[in-house]
Every structure is written in structure tokens, then in C-alpha cells.
Amino acid sequence: MRAFCIALILTITNVLQSTYFQHIRIRGTIPNIFITIIISFALLRGEKEGGIVGFFAGLIQDIYFGMALGFNTLLCMYIGYFCGKLNKKFYRENFLLPIILTVVSTIFYDLNIYIFSYLVRGKVDFKFFLNNIIIPEAVYTGVISILVYQGIYYLNKKLELREQKYKKLFKL
């Protein structure tokens, strides 16, 4: 059931990211909902599930938006894995850490996109990229992460209760 829910969330996110969120741009940037989902699952479930969710989210981004297969996959998998390392060290009810990690991860993600996509092609206007893309996207994604984390938090709570119920049911 958990795998189905995650696949459904990633599919809906892909549709929203490529359609609806294109129309709610602020200063020409859209929030990266994939990163908020990766961080939410990583913080709630740990580095293994964070890495797996990151892998599939990055794979979807590579297939639909990427220029090369594997770049976003590895980047999102690393984000999910390393954010998942903090799983045991914070309270799930704390909504401040997901916001901070979302902002930091968005900056990390965009810097890697800049370095490997634009800098290689000779576009070296880093100040423009920082002021007009990285910072606004990080702030926008951080604000949106409040809602996304709360939704995934409650979904995870329901899934864990369901898993515990079935575990008791089939326990010998």
C-alpha cells in the first residue's frame, strides 16, 4: 500500500509540476515539489526510503524534463539519502527542520544544475542565476514545503497505523 501511495504522489506531482505550477510562477520561478516530497519521506521514514523515493522522483524528472538520463536521479537520491540520516534526530511534529532542509536542498540542487548545465556551456553569469533563479526558487519551495510536509506527515501516520494493524493481525 505504501509503494502505491508513493507512486501515486510522484505521478500527481509530475502532472502538477508540468502543468498547474507553470501558471503560478513568482518572478519566473516555480516551486520544486519533488524536493519537498523527497525530504518529507526521508525525514519521516529514514535514509533508505528517502533514497528510494529520491531515486524514482529523479528518474521521473529525467524522463520528462531532463537532458540526460541519470543526473537528476542521482542528485535526488543523494538528497533523499542524506536528509534521511536526520530521521532519528528530530521530532516528526517539528515543521521547522523540513523547511530548512528544503531550502538548503533546493539551493544544492539548483547549484548542481547550474554547474553541470550552464557553466559547462560557458554561461557564467552566476550572480544573475543566484538572484533570479536559485534564491527565489528556494524560498518559494520552502514556503510550499510547509503544506506538503503536513500532508505527507498525516498520510504517513495513517499508513503506519494500518501497517501496525496488519502486523498484529498476521503475527503468530
CATH number of the domain bearing residue 121: 1.10.1760
172 pLDDT tier (thresholds 50, 70, 90): low
pLDDT at 104: 95
In tens, the pLDDT along 76-101 reads 999 999 999 988 877 777 888 899 99
Query: What is the C-alpha to C-alpha distance for residues 145 and 90, in angstroms, rounded to an integer?
Result: 17
Tell me whether residue 92 is in a domain: yes
Tell me whether residue 65 is in a domain: yes
Residue numbers of the domain that contains 72: 2-20+30-169
| 66: nearest Cα among 28, 29, 113 | 113
Q: Which three cell numbers stand for residue 64?
A: 520528462
In tens, the pLDDT along 2-32 reads 899 999 999 999 999 888 888 888 878 889 9
Domain total in the chain? 1
Average pLDDT over residues 34-46: 93
Q: Which three cell numbers stand for residue 150?
A: 503536513
Tell me whether residue 25 is in a domain: no
Q: For the chain, what is the mean pLDDT?
A: 88
